[in-house]
Amino acid sequence: MQNVLDLIRHRLIVSCQGYDEKTFHTAEDMLLMANAADLGGCVGFRLNSPEHVALVRKHFPDRCIIGIWKRESEGSDVYITPDVDSIFALKEAGADIIALDATDRKNYLGDYGWETIKKAKEIDPSLILMADISTFEEAKKAAEAGADIVSTTMSGYTAYTEDKCKGPDFDLIRECKDKLSAFVICEGRIWSREDAQKCYECGADAIVVGTAITNPKLITKRYVDYLKEKHIWE
């Protein structure tokens, strides 16, 4: 585990995920994204589904891969790697780190993320698990359950944090770093190089950037919306 954490420490991981079927979304598209990110100097990738993990792993045997599996289920808002079976499917596909929703919401089985972490770790203590959290309390529970990494991924994306901040959750980074022994990753709304720098200044051990690098539709929309807002483009 330490080798993996040392590899990504103070480095950039790029989230290569599809957004909709009208843009990039296939496994082959994600491989092209990963290749571009690798050429740009990133140290690894965050990928959705065992299929995408396996394909990118085949072409990048030495890069770090954070695997997730988005699986929606009726009656639950938890969809990022929602159960133990998903965790082990991602490990089998070649993920070094498996990330899962560890917010204060139950999955379709009625378990919280910290309970899923505990169950998976009891089966295989060597797993490197990353808790996607939205509050410090969630991070603390996940770390106590065995999460090796806590990430600010869900801050702003749960009903109880949606008004918390518009950019990266710098305060959450600081609190996690100050009070927990877990490796701390900042992910979510990192739009600029200055954002990335501040994440590290606040104590992040590593950062994951997605939309600002790999979603040309939203990158374009940001420019268009800004120009309209400034009445440059009517």
Q: 135 in a domain, yes or no? A: yes
pLDDT at 166: 87
pLDDT at 182: 96
Q: 153 in a domain, yes or no? A: yes
SS (H, E, C) the chain: CHHHHHHHCCCEEEEECCCCCCCCCCHHHHHHHHHHHHHHCCCEEEEECHHHHHHHHHHCCCCEEEEECECCECCECCCECCCHHHHHHHHHHCCCEEEEECCCCCCCCCCCHHHHHHHHHHHCCCCCEEEECCCHHHHHHHHHHCCCEEEHHHCCCCCCCCCCCCCCCHHHHHHHHHHCCCEEEEECCCCCHHHHHHHHHCCCCEEEECHHHHCHHHHHHHHHHHHHHCCCCC
Q: 134 in a domain, yes or no? A: yes
Tell me the per-residue pLDDT of 182-200, one tens digit each, with 9 for 90 and over: 999 999 999 999 999 999 9
pLDDT at 128: 98
Q: 176 in a domain, yes or no? A: yes
Q: What is this structure's pTM?
A: 0.96
Q: 23 in a domain, yes or no? A: yes
Structurally, how many domains does the chain consist of? 1
> β-pairing, 64-68 with 44-48?
parallel
CATH code: domain of residue 220: 3.20.20.70
- What does the mean pLDDT of the chain come to? 96
Q: 234 in a domain, yes or no? A: no
For residue 21, pLDDT over 80 is answered with yes
pLDDT at 164: 86
**What would the two tokens of residue 77 be?**
């808002």
Residue range of the domain that includes 73? 2-229
